[in-house]
Structure 1
Amino acid sequence: MDFQELGTDRLMLVQITDEYIDRYYAIMSKDEVTKYYGMPSLTEREQAENIVRSFRDNFAVKKSMRWGIIWKETDAFIGTVGLNNWSPYSRKAEVGYELDPAFWRKGITSEAVSAVVDYAFRGLGLYRLGAVTFPQNEASSGLLRRLGFQEEGVLRGYLFHHDQNHDALMFSLLRHEYLKEEY
Protein backbone atom coordinates (compact mmCIF):
# COMPACT_ATOMS: atom_id res chain seq x y z
CA MET A 1 0.00 0.00 0.00
CA ASP A 2 1.37 3.40 -0.98
CA PHE A 3 1.28 6.35 1.40
CA GLN A 4 -1.68 8.55 0.50
CA GLU A 5 -1.05 12.29 0.64
CA LEU A 6 -4.11 14.40 1.43
CA GLY A 7 -5.00 18.01 0.73
CA THR A 8 -7.37 20.65 2.07
CA ASP A 9 -7.93 24.28 1.18
CA ARG A 10 -4.97 25.49 3.25
CA LEU A 11 -2.95 22.34 3.95
CA MET A 12 -1.06 19.49 2.37
CA LEU A 13 -0.74 16.33 4.46
CA VAL A 14 2.43 14.55 3.36
CA GLN A 15 4.60 11.62 4.32
CA ILE A 16 7.15 12.68 6.91
CA THR A 17 10.63 12.30 5.49
CA ASP A 18 14.08 13.16 6.83
CA GLU A 19 13.83 16.67 5.36
CA TYR A 20 11.32 17.51 8.12
CA ILE A 21 13.36 16.28 11.10
CA ASP A 22 14.60 19.72 12.15
CA ARG A 23 11.13 21.29 12.04
CA TYR A 24 9.62 18.29 13.86
CA TYR A 25 12.29 18.63 16.53
CA ALA A 26 11.64 22.38 16.86
CA ILE A 27 7.92 21.74 17.44
CA MET A 28 8.27 18.75 19.77
CA SER A 29 10.91 20.44 21.92
CA LYS A 30 8.36 23.07 23.04
CA ASP A 31 6.87 22.37 26.46
CA GLU A 32 3.53 23.95 25.50
CA VAL A 33 3.20 21.38 22.67
CA THR A 34 4.01 18.35 24.84
CA LYS A 35 2.14 19.54 27.95
CA TYR A 36 -0.74 17.16 27.16
CA TYR A 37 1.08 14.87 24.75
CA GLY A 38 1.97 11.97 27.01
CA MET A 39 5.71 12.24 26.37
CA PRO A 40 8.36 14.71 27.47
CA SER A 41 9.63 17.47 25.20
CA LEU A 42 12.44 16.39 22.91
CA THR A 43 15.88 17.52 24.01
CA GLU A 44 18.08 16.12 21.21
CA ARG A 45 17.72 16.05 17.42
CA GLU A 46 18.46 12.30 17.48
CA GLN A 47 15.14 11.75 19.28
CA ALA A 48 13.33 13.40 16.37
CA GLU A 49 15.29 11.26 13.90
CA ASN A 50 14.20 8.11 15.74
CA ILE A 51 10.55 9.18 15.83
CA VAL A 52 10.52 10.05 12.12
CA ARG A 53 12.08 6.63 11.40
CA SER A 54 9.38 4.98 13.54
CA PHE A 55 6.67 6.79 11.50
CA ARG A 56 8.06 5.12 8.35
CA ASP A 57 8.61 1.72 9.97
CA ASN A 58 5.16 1.60 11.58
CA PHE A 59 3.47 2.56 8.30
CA ALA A 60 5.33 -0.25 6.52
CA VAL A 61 3.79 -2.81 8.91
CA LYS A 62 0.38 -1.06 9.05
CA LYS A 63 0.56 -0.09 12.73
CA SER A 64 0.26 3.66 12.21
CA MET A 65 0.11 6.34 9.55
CA ARG A 66 1.43 9.86 10.23
CA TRP A 67 1.21 12.89 7.99
CA GLY A 68 3.24 16.08 8.14
CA ILE A 69 1.03 19.16 8.07
CA ILE A 70 2.29 21.61 5.45
CA TRP A 71 0.93 25.18 5.43
CA LYS A 72 0.40 25.77 1.67
CA GLU A 73 0.87 29.53 1.90
CA THR A 74 4.54 29.22 2.93
CA ASP A 75 5.26 25.51 2.35
CA ALA A 76 6.17 25.27 6.07
CA PHE A 77 6.02 22.06 8.10
CA ILE A 78 3.82 23.04 11.09
CA GLY A 79 2.87 19.77 12.81
CA THR A 80 1.67 16.22 12.35
CA VAL A 81 -1.58 14.31 12.36
CA GLY A 82 -2.08 10.59 12.17
CA LEU A 83 -3.61 7.28 12.93
CA ASN A 84 -2.06 5.41 15.88
CA ASN A 85 -2.76 1.85 16.99
CA TRP A 86 -4.03 1.16 13.47
CA SER A 87 -5.48 -2.30 13.02
CA PRO A 88 -6.66 -2.93 9.44
CA TYR A 89 -8.01 -6.33 10.56
CA SER A 90 -10.14 -4.83 13.34
CA ARG A 91 -10.88 -1.75 11.20
CA LYS A 92 -9.91 0.73 13.89
CA ALA A 93 -7.30 3.33 14.81
CA GLU A 94 -6.76 6.28 17.13
CA VAL A 95 -6.29 9.85 15.93
CA GLY A 96 -3.39 11.94 17.24
CA TYR A 97 -2.01 15.36 16.37
CA GLU A 98 0.20 18.26 17.40
CA LEU A 99 0.77 21.70 15.94
CA ASP A 100 3.34 24.47 16.23
CA PRO A 101 1.89 27.02 18.71
CA ALA A 102 2.37 29.83 16.17
CA PHE A 103 -0.50 28.21 14.24
CA TRP A 104 -2.89 27.51 17.14
CA ARG A 105 -6.46 28.84 17.11
CA LYS A 106 -6.71 29.10 13.33
CA GLY A 107 -8.77 25.94 12.69
CA ILE A 108 -5.74 24.16 11.23
CA THR A 109 -5.86 21.09 13.48
CA SER A 110 -9.57 20.72 12.83
CA GLU A 111 -8.96 20.93 9.07
CA ALA A 112 -6.15 18.37 9.21
CA VAL A 113 -8.01 15.93 11.50
CA SER A 114 -11.14 16.22 9.33
CA ALA A 115 -9.15 15.17 6.25
CA VAL A 116 -7.64 12.19 8.10
CA VAL A 117 -11.03 11.13 9.51
CA ASP A 118 -12.56 11.22 6.03
CA TYR A 119 -9.68 9.20 4.58
CA ALA A 120 -9.85 6.69 7.45
CA PHE A 121 -13.52 5.94 6.85
CA ARG A 122 -13.76 6.33 3.07
CA GLY A 123 -10.24 5.38 1.95
CA LEU A 124 -9.16 2.80 4.52
CA GLY A 125 -12.62 1.42 5.32
CA LEU A 126 -12.17 1.75 9.07
CA TYR A 127 -15.19 1.31 11.33
CA ARG A 128 -13.98 3.02 14.52
CA LEU A 129 -11.73 5.96 15.27
CA GLY A 130 -10.74 6.68 18.84
CA ALA A 131 -8.90 9.55 20.47
CA VAL A 132 -7.38 9.88 23.92
CA THR A 133 -6.88 13.24 25.65
CA PHE A 134 -5.90 14.57 29.03
CA PRO A 135 -9.09 15.79 30.79
CA GLN A 136 -7.42 19.21 31.22
CA ASN A 137 -6.86 19.56 27.46
CA GLU A 138 -10.10 21.38 26.75
CA ALA A 139 -8.96 22.56 23.31
CA SER A 140 -8.45 18.98 22.12
CA SER A 141 -11.67 17.68 23.71
CA GLY A 142 -13.61 20.55 22.15
CA LEU A 143 -12.12 19.87 18.73
CA LEU A 144 -13.05 16.18 18.92
CA ARG A 145 -16.63 17.00 19.98
CA ARG A 146 -17.00 19.50 17.11
CA LEU A 147 -15.91 16.78 14.69
CA GLY A 148 -18.59 14.41 15.99
CA PHE A 149 -16.55 12.27 18.38
CA GLN A 150 -18.42 11.12 21.48
CA GLU A 151 -16.86 10.95 24.91
CA GLU A 152 -16.96 7.34 26.08
CA GLY A 153 -15.51 7.73 29.54
CA VAL A 154 -12.42 8.00 31.67
CA LEU A 155 -9.46 5.65 31.33
CA ARG A 156 -8.08 5.72 34.86
CA GLY A 157 -4.31 6.11 35.16
CA TYR A 158 -3.96 5.51 31.40
CA LEU A 159 -1.33 8.11 30.49
CA PHE A 160 2.16 8.24 32.01
CA HIS A 161 3.62 11.74 31.88
CA HIS A 162 6.20 13.56 34.00
CA ASP A 163 6.81 10.49 36.17
CA GLN A 164 3.18 9.92 37.14
CA ASN A 165 0.04 8.32 35.80
CA HIS A 166 -2.87 10.46 34.65
CA ASP A 167 -6.47 9.76 33.75
CA ALA A 168 -7.48 10.14 30.11
CA LEU A 169 -10.73 10.82 28.31
CA MET A 170 -11.62 8.32 25.59
CA PHE A 171 -13.51 9.56 22.54
CA SER A 172 -14.77 7.66 19.52
CA LEU A 173 -16.45 8.14 16.18
CA LEU A 174 -17.99 5.26 14.24
CA ARG A 175 -18.21 4.95 10.48
CA HIS A 176 -22.01 5.05 10.29
CA GLU A 177 -22.12 8.15 12.53
CA TYR A 178 -19.63 9.94 10.29
CA LEU A 179 -21.23 8.88 7.02
CA LYS A 180 -24.75 9.42 8.48
CA GLU A 181 -25.72 5.87 7.52
CA GLU A 182 -28.26 3.64 9.19
CA TYR A 183 -26.63 1.16 11.53
Structure 2
Amino acid sequence: MVGGFSESLDLQNAIKSAFKGLDVIVPEEASSCVVKGATIFGHMPKVVSERVLRYTYGIETFEKFVQGRHAPSKRIITDNCSVCQKVFSKHAEVDQKVKVGEPQVWRTYNPQYKSQKHMSFSVCASDKLNPIYTDERCIHIGTLQIDLDDHDGALDREVLVAFTFSGTEIVVQAKDRKTGNDSFAWIKKRPYISKHLYLPYI
Protein backbone atom coordinates (compact mmCIF):
# COMPACT_ATOMS: atom_id res chain seq x y z
CA MET A 1 0.00 0.00 0.00
CA VAL A 2 1.41 3.37 -1.02
CA GLY A 3 0.17 6.94 -0.96
CA GLY A 4 -0.77 9.23 1.90
CA PHE A 5 -4.00 7.50 2.90
CA SER A 6 -2.28 4.11 3.04
CA GLU A 7 -0.80 5.09 6.42
CA SER A 8 -4.29 5.08 7.92
CA LEU A 9 -4.59 2.15 10.34
CA ASP A 10 -8.34 1.94 9.67
CA LEU A 11 -7.72 1.55 5.95
CA GLN A 12 -4.94 -1.00 6.53
CA ASN A 13 -7.23 -3.09 8.74
CA ALA A 14 -10.04 -2.90 6.19
CA ILE A 15 -7.73 -4.08 3.39
CA LYS A 16 -6.38 -6.92 5.52
CA SER A 17 -9.93 -8.01 6.37
CA ALA A 18 -11.02 -7.90 2.73
CA PHE A 19 -7.95 -9.81 1.45
CA LYS A 20 -7.25 -12.31 4.22
CA GLY A 21 -5.30 -14.62 1.94
CA LEU A 22 -2.77 -11.96 0.94
CA ASP A 23 0.12 -10.29 2.72
CA VAL A 24 -0.49 -6.55 2.95
CA ILE A 25 2.74 -4.54 2.88
CA VAL A 26 3.02 -0.88 3.82
CA PRO A 27 6.58 0.41 3.18
CA GLU A 28 8.25 3.12 5.21
CA GLU A 29 7.37 6.61 4.01
CA ALA A 30 4.41 5.20 2.10
CA SER A 31 2.95 8.68 1.75
CA SER A 32 5.88 9.87 -0.40
CA CYS A 33 6.34 6.75 -2.59
CA VAL A 34 4.12 8.06 -5.38
CA VAL A 35 5.81 11.47 -5.44
CA LYS A 36 9.29 9.91 -5.45
CA GLY A 37 8.35 7.54 -8.27
CA ALA A 38 6.93 10.39 -10.35
CA THR A 39 10.07 12.46 -9.75
CA ILE A 40 12.39 9.62 -10.80
CA PHE A 41 10.29 8.99 -13.91
CA GLY A 42 10.35 12.69 -14.77
CA HIS A 43 14.14 12.75 -14.67
CA MET A 44 14.65 9.33 -16.28
CA PRO A 45 11.64 8.58 -18.51
CA LYS A 46 13.53 5.78 -20.30
CA VAL A 47 13.76 3.80 -17.07
CA VAL A 48 10.47 2.19 -18.19
CA SER A 49 11.12 0.46 -21.52
CA GLU A 50 8.01 -1.72 -21.79
CA ARG A 51 4.39 -1.60 -20.75
CA VAL A 52 1.86 -4.39 -20.32
CA LEU A 53 -1.48 -3.14 -21.58
CA ARG A 54 -4.44 -3.33 -19.28
CA TYR A 55 -6.92 -2.81 -22.11
CA THR A 56 -7.45 -3.55 -25.79
CA TYR A 57 -7.13 -0.44 -27.96
CA GLY A 58 -8.46 0.25 -31.42
CA ILE A 59 -10.30 2.44 -33.89
CA GLU A 60 -14.00 2.55 -34.74
CA THR A 61 -14.27 1.78 -38.42
CA PHE A 62 -16.39 0.36 -41.25
CA GLU A 63 -16.14 -3.15 -42.64
CA LYS A 64 -17.72 -4.69 -45.72
CA PHE A 65 -21.04 -6.12 -44.58
CA VAL A 66 -21.23 -9.91 -44.52
CA GLN A 67 -24.65 -11.50 -44.06
CA GLY A 68 -24.71 -13.79 -41.03
CA ARG A 69 -21.51 -12.32 -39.63
CA HIS A 70 -22.50 -8.73 -38.95
CA ALA A 71 -25.50 -7.35 -37.09
CA PRO A 72 -28.20 -6.21 -39.58
CA SER A 73 -28.92 -3.17 -37.38
CA LYS A 74 -25.42 -1.84 -38.12
CA ARG A 75 -25.70 -2.10 -41.89
CA ILE A 76 -25.48 1.13 -43.91
CA ILE A 77 -24.83 2.00 -47.54
CA THR A 78 -21.88 4.22 -48.44
CA ASP A 79 -20.38 5.23 -51.79
CA ASN A 80 -18.03 2.28 -51.35
CA CYS A 81 -20.47 -0.58 -50.71
CA SER A 82 -22.79 -2.04 -48.10
CA VAL A 83 -20.85 -1.78 -44.83
CA CYS A 84 -21.13 -2.59 -41.16
CA GLN A 85 -20.54 0.45 -38.95
CA LYS A 86 -19.11 0.70 -35.43
CA VAL A 87 -16.65 -2.14 -36.01
CA PHE A 88 -13.75 -2.32 -33.54
CA SER A 89 -10.46 -2.41 -35.48
CA LYS A 90 -7.92 -3.75 -32.96
CA HIS A 91 -4.46 -2.21 -32.78
CA ALA A 92 -3.19 -3.60 -29.45
CA GLU A 93 -4.68 -6.06 -26.99
CA VAL A 94 -4.98 -6.57 -23.26
CA ASP A 95 -1.85 -8.09 -21.61
CA GLN A 96 0.26 -7.32 -24.68
CA LYS A 97 3.80 -6.11 -24.02
CA VAL A 98 4.64 -2.97 -25.98
CA LYS A 99 7.88 -1.04 -26.33
CA VAL A 100 7.50 2.45 -24.92
CA GLY A 101 7.80 5.08 -27.63
CA GLU A 102 7.61 2.66 -30.57
CA PRO A 103 4.58 2.64 -32.94
CA GLN A 104 2.64 -0.60 -32.97
CA VAL A 105 1.22 -2.21 -36.11
CA TRP A 106 0.05 0.19 -38.83
CA ARG A 107 -3.47 -0.45 -40.15
CA THR A 108 -4.99 0.92 -43.35
CA TYR A 109 -8.33 2.73 -43.63
CA ASN A 110 -10.16 4.15 -46.65
CA PRO A 111 -12.72 6.91 -47.16
CA GLN A 112 -16.31 5.76 -47.58
CA TYR A 113 -17.70 8.73 -49.49
CA LYS A 114 -16.44 10.39 -52.65
CA SER A 115 -17.07 13.86 -51.23
CA GLN A 116 -15.08 13.32 -48.03
CA LYS A 117 -12.69 16.13 -47.13
CA HIS A 118 -11.43 14.53 -43.92
CA MET A 119 -11.41 11.22 -42.05
CA SER A 120 -12.23 11.08 -38.36
CA PHE A 121 -11.19 8.19 -36.14
CA SER A 122 -12.80 7.42 -32.81
CA VAL A 123 -10.17 5.92 -30.49
CA CYS A 124 -11.64 3.23 -28.25
CA ALA A 125 -10.63 0.93 -25.42
CA SER A 126 -12.15 -2.28 -24.11
CA ASP A 127 -11.47 -4.81 -21.36
CA LYS A 128 -12.31 -7.61 -23.83
CA LEU A 129 -9.56 -9.37 -25.76
CA ASN A 130 -11.39 -9.30 -29.10
CA PRO A 131 -14.24 -6.80 -29.08
CA ILE A 132 -16.35 -6.85 -32.23
CA TYR A 133 -18.28 -3.59 -31.99
CA THR A 134 -17.46 -0.30 -30.30
CA ASP A 135 -20.82 -0.07 -28.54
CA GLU A 136 -20.27 -3.28 -26.55
CA ARG A 137 -18.06 -2.92 -23.44
CA CYS A 138 -15.98 -0.22 -25.12
CA ILE A 139 -15.44 3.43 -24.30
CA HIS A 140 -14.40 6.37 -26.45
CA ILE A 141 -11.11 7.86 -25.17
CA GLY A 142 -10.20 10.27 -27.97
CA THR A 143 -10.64 11.45 -31.53
CA LEU A 144 -8.17 11.80 -34.39
CA GLN A 145 -8.88 13.64 -37.65
CA ILE A 146 -6.83 14.00 -40.83
CA ASP A 147 -7.73 16.35 -43.68
CA LEU A 148 -8.20 15.18 -47.26
CA ASP A 149 -8.47 18.61 -48.87
CA ASP A 150 -7.33 17.35 -52.28
CA HIS A 151 -9.58 14.28 -52.27
CA ASP A 152 -10.57 13.43 -55.84
CA GLY A 153 -13.24 10.91 -54.90
CA ALA A 154 -11.03 7.82 -55.05
CA LEU A 155 -12.27 5.34 -52.46
CA ASP A 156 -9.05 3.33 -52.50
CA ARG A 157 -7.09 6.21 -50.96
CA GLU A 158 -5.16 4.88 -47.95
CA VAL A 159 -4.75 6.45 -44.53
CA LEU A 160 -2.48 4.56 -42.12
CA VAL A 161 -3.04 4.63 -38.37
CA ALA A 162 -0.78 3.43 -35.54
CA PHE A 163 -0.71 3.64 -31.74
CA THR A 164 2.39 4.54 -29.72
CA PHE A 165 2.28 3.89 -25.97
CA SER A 166 4.47 6.36 -24.12
CA GLY A 167 5.09 6.74 -20.42
CA THR A 168 2.07 8.84 -19.50
CA GLU A 169 0.02 9.05 -22.69
CA ILE A 170 -1.08 7.29 -25.85
CA VAL A 171 -0.12 8.88 -29.17
CA VAL A 172 -2.29 7.97 -32.15
CA GLN A 173 -0.88 8.90 -35.57
CA ALA A 174 -2.63 9.01 -38.95
CA LYS A 175 -0.64 9.24 -42.17
CA ASP A 176 -2.11 10.03 -45.59
CA ARG A 177 -0.20 7.74 -47.94
CA LYS A 178 -0.96 9.95 -50.97
CA THR A 179 0.39 13.23 -49.57
CA GLY A 180 2.55 12.04 -46.68
CA ASN A 181 0.71 14.39 -44.32
CA ASP A 182 0.46 13.38 -40.66
CA SER A 183 -2.05 14.03 -37.92
CA PHE A 184 -1.63 13.21 -34.23
CA ALA A 185 -3.80 12.81 -31.14
CA TRP A 186 -2.24 12.77 -27.66
CA ILE A 187 -4.53 10.88 -25.30
CA LYS A 188 -3.97 11.24 -21.59
CA LYS A 189 -7.19 9.54 -20.56
CA ARG A 190 -6.99 6.08 -19.09
CA PRO A 191 -10.14 3.96 -19.28
CA TYR A 192 -12.03 2.57 -16.34
CA ILE A 193 -14.49 -0.13 -17.27
CA SER A 194 -16.76 -1.83 -14.74
CA LYS A 195 -19.79 -4.08 -15.13
CA HIS A 196 -22.11 -1.11 -14.81
CA LEU A 197 -20.18 2.03 -15.76
CA TYR A 198 -18.18 3.09 -18.78
CA LEU A 199 -16.35 6.16 -17.56
CA PRO A 200 -13.02 7.59 -18.77
CA TYR A 201 -10.68 9.07 -16.21
CA ILE A 202 -7.35 10.85 -16.49
TM-score range with shorter-chain normalisation?
Answer: under 0.3
Structure 1 or 2: more helix by fraction: 1
* TM score, norm. by length of structure 2: 0.25
Structure 1 or 2: more strand by fraction: 2
Larger Rg computed on CA atoms? 2
* TM score, norm. by length of structure 1: 0.27
